[in-house]
Chains A and B, each alone.
Chain A
Amino acid sequence: EVQLVESGGGLVQPGRSLKLSCAASGFTFSNYYMAWVRQAPKKGLEWVATISTSGSRTYYPDSVKGRFTISRDNAKSSLYLQMNSLKSEDTATYYCARLNYGSYGYWGQGVMVTVSS
């Protein structure tokens, strides 16, 4: 059974940093592109970052480019999101997701990040 379990969320002040983790199991992690997707309270879904199987290629939307960094450790079947210079508009539930054919076939339960003073 595919499982994605996020951790590392919480309350953080504007301008500070936070690192999210996602532990994957039930599949060969190194064979799949992985991604982070977020959802602000009562809002829609927003793609945050994508990483290739080896980690050599990463992709970001303009809203987080230069502030967020996605990475992975295939030996540990883990995905990470380093978030720097956090803003109030980054407040959201962050989901770890597995990509296949460009779609997000599996999602974690999500972890809440609140940016507030």
Chain B
Amino acid sequence: DTVLTQSPALAVSPGERVSISCRASEGVNSYMHWYQQKPGQQPKLLIYKASNLASGVPARFSGSGSGTDFTLTIDPVEADDTATYFCQQSWNDWTFGGGTKLELK
């Protein structure tokens, strides 16, 4: 199984730039995707295939990386971005990272 590792939590101030990382235990090409989940809601796709912005997602969100190391960047962060962010790979079946909880200071 391809294991995806994310930092558990981050805290940033509104207006700052934040980078959320995801490391895969083996290469996944560019087949890494990012989701935002707020409490009580279903996940929402933000970025697909490493760097492609999903429909309707603000351009403040961007993705980068290939192989085993990937990053979701939010710039600038807004109060509404408080959520948990998950990475997911689809190169070797489908697996998710454990999630990074983003809190605003």
Q: Which residues of A contact B (CB under 8 A)?
A: 35, 44-47, 50, 59, 61, 95, 100-110
Contacts and interface: CB of A to CB of B under 8 A. Distances in A.
Contacts of A44: 86, 96-99
Instruction: Give chain B's interface residue range (CB within 8 Å of chain A).
Output: 20 to 34
Label chain A's interface by main secondary structure.
strand
28 contacts: A44-B86, A44-B96, A44-B98, A45-B35, A45-B43, A45-B96, A47-B93, A47-B94, A47-B95, A50-B94, A101-B48, A101-B49, A101-B90, A102-B31, A102-B48, A102-B91, A102-B94, A103-B45, A103-B49, A103-B88, A103-B90, A104-B43, A105-B45, A105-B48, A105-B54, A107-B43, A108-B42, A109-B42
Nearest to A45: B96
A110 B88 CA distance: 19
Given A44-B99, A45-B35, A103-B54, 16 more contacts: A45-B99, A47-B96, A61-B1, A61-B93, A100-B48, A101-B33, A101-B52, A101-B90, A103-B48, A103-B88, A104-B35, A104-B43, A104-B45, A106-B45, A107-B42, A108-B42
Nearest to B95: A47
B93 A45 contact: no
Nearest to A105: B45
